[in-house]
Amino acid sequence: MFKKAWLVARAVGSIGSFIGYLVSRSVWLRMRRIRHHLSSSASSNHIEHEQRNIVVIGTSMAGYHAAKTIAESLLPGSPYRVVVIEAHDHFHFTWVLPRFCVIEGHEHKAFIPYGPYLRHIPESALRWVQGRAVRITKDSVHLSSGEEVPYEFLVVATGAGASDALPSRVDSDDKSEGITKLKNIQTRIKEAKNLVVVGGGAAGVELATDAKSQYPEKTVVLVHSRDSVMHRFGPELQKAATEGLKDLGVEVITGDRLIGEDKERGVVTLKSGEEVECDFLVNCAGQKPNSTLIRELSPISITATGHIRAKPTMQIDDGSLPNVYVCGDVAETSTPNPNSRSARAQAAVASDNVILAIDGCKPANKYKPNWLEALIKLTLGLDRSVTHIGDFSGTELLFPAKEKDLALMSGGAWKHMGASPFQDDTETLQRFFTKA
């Protein structure tokens, strides 16, 4: 009891210090503008600068925030501009993907238009390139279109991919193709009598409970290689998730792994030798960081898991590349449960350090994982959820809740991105589609 009260007190303290950080950051940026204004009115000379690029590759939870933060900090007349390189034509809202693999009619809500989040940024501060980066050198990024974009600073926010894409990622750059993929998986789940879900992390637990809640007549089996589902979190959340699965009638097999699928016989085989009837298999395991671009440029920065080693300043851990930053799921920090909050916090550190560097100062901001970032809201069927916070030393708090919104938090996410739910505004981004 005392430990839980202490956790709440520390959560309040952390929120207080976050507000303090926001205030001091705002003062810093304001002072910077005032200093710039005073120095430019003292000197009447207009200096022509050569354009210098701060390139951001990948604009999801980490990179979109980094691109916006840096672009809105550029001072009038700055020689710098942000150049975004993003493969997708819309922002993919991952949180709702397991739900929209099961529930029909909401797929479009997972694709938030890029642009409205950048509404207050002047055209001169940002260029948007929809395309794929295929190679990085010490001073430029090469795109699949053949274009070469030189950079002075680079922020790599290429995130992670999943071997079987959905329900963890949508492996399509085009929104309408992404919607079709979601609809296809909905149909496969609807038509299956025996559904097997592999992976007992959040995506697997959510998809299995949603499927069983929507189709109680189906057999749903969740297979997880560890001793408990949600093993990256504390025992109280593991217990709540296991109970949520069992209450709905999902069969949970832990400590075993899938080694084969026989589609003709309609079975999957587990390492233990057990065979499980299966006419549709959903793989929610196997996310991999998208680090190939940096692997070629700086092999020493890549960890055994394929992540990019980052310094606390979010510069990549390679002394020869001080102008290359990394943030989000692709970065190796000591965050135990990388998620959108940690991605955004790292993006904020990387962005402020880039701003310092373009002002000629040393990158001084440091990312330190905060246990509050690991907060998770886990759905356990269509009408229930449990929110979990836990510190890194094992104290946990659970908040069970009833849920009414089938589309989960998608409306809020659209608003957060400056977009009106669910109007597909593709116009706002157009002004950033400038030529090189």
Ligand X SMILES: Cc1cc2nc3c(=O)[nH]c(=O)nc-3n(C[C@H](O)[C@H](O)[C@H](O)COP(=O)(O)OP(=O)(O)OC[C@H]3O[C@@H](n4cnc5c(N)ncnc54)[C@H](O)[C@@H]3O)c2cc1C
Which chain residues interact with ligand X by CB under 6 A? 57-63, 85-88, 94-95, 97-98, 132-133, 157-160, 167-168, 202-203, 290, 328-329, 338-341, 343
> Shortest distance, CB of residue 232 to ligand X, whole angstroms?
12
Region of 133 (left: φ > 0; alpha: ψ -120 to 50; beta: rest) is beta
Q: Which is nearer to ligand X, 60 or 186 (CB)?
A: 60
Bridge partners (DSSP) of residue 308 are: 302, 331
How far is the C-alpha of 185 from the C-alpha of 176, rounded, in Å? Answer: 15
8 Cβ partners below 8 Å, 6+ apart? 397
How far is the C-alpha of 141 from the C-alpha of 106, rounded, in Å? Answer: 36
> Shortest distance, CB of residue 414 to ligand X, whole angstroms?
15
Q: Which is nearer to ligand X, 86 or 352 (CB)?
A: 86
> Shortest distance, CB of residue 170 to ligand X, whole angstroms?
9
> Shortest distance, CB of residue 206 to ligand X, whole angstroms?
7
How far is the C-alpha of 60 from the C-alpha of 78, rounded, in Å? Answer: 26
Q: Which is nearer to ligand X, 160 or 248 (CB)?
A: 160
Q: CA dihedral defined by 37, 41, 43, 47, rounded to 10 degrees?
A: 60
> Shortest distance, CB of residue 291 to ligand X, whole angstroms?
10
Q: Which is nearer to ligand X, 223 or 270 (CB)?
A: 223
How, if at all, do strands 52-57 and 153-156 pair?
parallel
Q: Which is nearer to ligand X, 36 or 188 (CB)?
A: 188
> Shortest distance, CB of residue 374 to ligand X, whole angstroms?
9
Q: Which is nearer to ligand X, 88 or 212 (CB)?
A: 88
Are the C-beta atoms of 30 and 127 separated by less than 8 Å? no
Query: What is each CA distance from 51 to 54, 123, 137, 324, in whole angstroms?
Result: 10, 14, 19, 18
> Shortest distance, CB of residue 133 to ligand X, whole angstroms?
4
Q: Which is nearer to ligand X, 252 or 343 (CB)?
A: 343
Bridge partners (DSSP) of residue 198 are: 223, 283
Helix, strand and coil content of the chain, in percent to the nearest 5, comes to: 35, 25, 40
Q: Which is nearer to ligand X, 321 or 375 (CB)?
A: 375
Q: Which is nearer to ligand X, 36 or 231 (CB)?
A: 231
Are the C-beta atoms of 350 and 325 separated by less than 8 Å? yes
How far is the C-alpha of 9 from the C-alpha of 1, rounded, in Å? Answer: 12
Kindly state the greatest CA–CA separation across the chain. 81
Are the C-beta atoms of 29 and 72 separated by less than 8 Å? no
> Shortest distance, CB of residue 101 to ligand X, whole angstroms?
9
How far is the C-alpha of 352 from the C-alpha of 369, rounded, in Å? Answer: 17
> Residue 405 gets which letter from DSSP?
-
H/E element, 258: strand 258-262
Query: What is each CA distance from 244 to 78, 95, 323, 382, in whole angstroms?
Result: 55, 19, 47, 11
Amino acid occupying residue 134: V
Are the C-beta atoms of 289 and 330 separated by less than 8 Å? yes
Please state the length of the chain: 436
Q: Which is nearer to ligand X, 160 or 372 (CB)?
A: 160
> Shortest distance, CB of residue 285 to ligand X, whole angstroms?
11
Q: Which is nearer to ligand X, 101 or 195 (CB)?
A: 101
